[in-house]
């Protein structure tokens, strides 16, 4: 199981959104008009023009105190991507695997009908894919496979000033993530890595994943289709890796 992986250590994230801006710049995605919604998170969600979004959650566990939980959300580049399984059936060629990095990529030249897109999005355990209604293509993080192919890190990793965003060979990244988890758990007993055996984008969170975002972990609130996809494609892999 070669290929690349990310380690996203949310305990180091300051919510500066450098990664979000760098992603827009590299992918030449247009800016999104934003409005004050009572949150520093902007825009409100991922879109065909926003592949990376720093989600902000305000925590008020301790009376009189507030804390931020930052979650730089993006495609997890699943080892066995449910989006591809569904796309192969309903929109052949729309989702491909980069042989070098194992990045999961949507082909912008393949048009996907709204009905097919609905199914593909529902198969994603993390609610990532978006549809460009103007072009008919799908859109999401590409792992910057074009940069990586030239020996450069993904734009979000290059821009992150805090060490939150890390990228490299999968085995090295898994070790890095486990080592950091062991350190963080000494202070934060609920800290965990989110399904590291099933994805190439491994998040470390210091509290329950659902406190960060409803789709932060596949175990969060998921629809019937997502549950089916998880049972069929992701859980068997996790069991095989553990056994
Ligand atoms: S996170 Fe969703 S869009 Fe990304 S590879 Fe996995 S199933 Fe596909
Ligand atoms: S650039 Fe790094 S510190 Fe800033 S929001 Fe992104 S992940 Fe967090």
The residue whose CB lies within 8 Å of the most ligand 1 atoms, and thus the one to mutate among 91, 119, 129, is 129
Nearest ligand atom owner, CA of 203: 2
Which residue minimizes the CA distance to atom 4 of ligand 2?
Answer: 16
pLDDT in single tens digits along all 243 residues of the chain: 689 999 999 999 999 999 999 999 999 999 999 898 888 899 999 999 999 999 999 887 777 778 899 999 999 999 999 999 999 999 999 999 999 999 999 999 999 999 999 999 999 999 999 999 899 999 999 999 999 999 999 999 999 999 999 999 999 999 999 999 999 999 999 999 999 999 999 999 999 999 999 999 975 444 445 556 655 555 555 554 443
CB-CB neighbours of 140 under 10 Å? 22
| Nearest-atom index, ligand 1, CA of 84 | 8
Which residue minimizes the CA distance to atom 5 of ligand 1?
Answer: 77
Nearest ligand atom owner, CA of 234: 1
Task: For 166-205, give the secondary structure using H, E and C.
Answer: EEEEHHHHHHHHHHHHHHHHCCCCCCEECCCCCECEEEEE
């Amino acid at each position: 199981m070669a290929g690349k992986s990310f380690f996203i250590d949310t305990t180091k994230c300051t919510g500066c959104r450098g990664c979000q801006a760098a992603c827009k710049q590299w992918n030449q995605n247009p800016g999104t008009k934003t409005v004050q919604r009572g949150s520093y998170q902007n825009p409100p969600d991922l879109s065909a023009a926003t592949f990376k979004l720093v989600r902000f959650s305000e925590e008020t566990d301790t009376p009189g105190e507030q804390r931020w939980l930052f979650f730089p959300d993006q495609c997890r580049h699943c080892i066995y991507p449910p989006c591809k399984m569904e796309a192969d059936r309903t929109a052949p060629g729309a989702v491909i695997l980069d042989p070098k990095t194992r990045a999961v990529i949507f082909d912008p030249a393949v048009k996907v009908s709204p009905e097919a897109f609905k199914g593909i999005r529902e198969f994603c355990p993390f609610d990532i894919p978006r549809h460009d209604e103007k072009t008919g293509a799908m859109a999401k993080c590409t792992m910057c496979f074009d940069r990586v192919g030239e020996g450069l890190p993904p734009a979000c990793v290059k821009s992150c000033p805090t060490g939150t965003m890390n990228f490299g060979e999968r085995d090295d990244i898994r070790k890095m993530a486990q080592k950091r988890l062991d350190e963080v758990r000494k202070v934060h007993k609920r800290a965990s890595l989110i399904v590291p055996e099933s994805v190439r984008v491994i998040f470390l969170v210091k509290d329950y994943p659902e406190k960060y975002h409803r789709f932060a972990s596949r175990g969060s609130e998921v629809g019937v289709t997502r549950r089916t996809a998880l049972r069929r494609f992701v859980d068997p892999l996790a069991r095989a890796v553990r056994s």
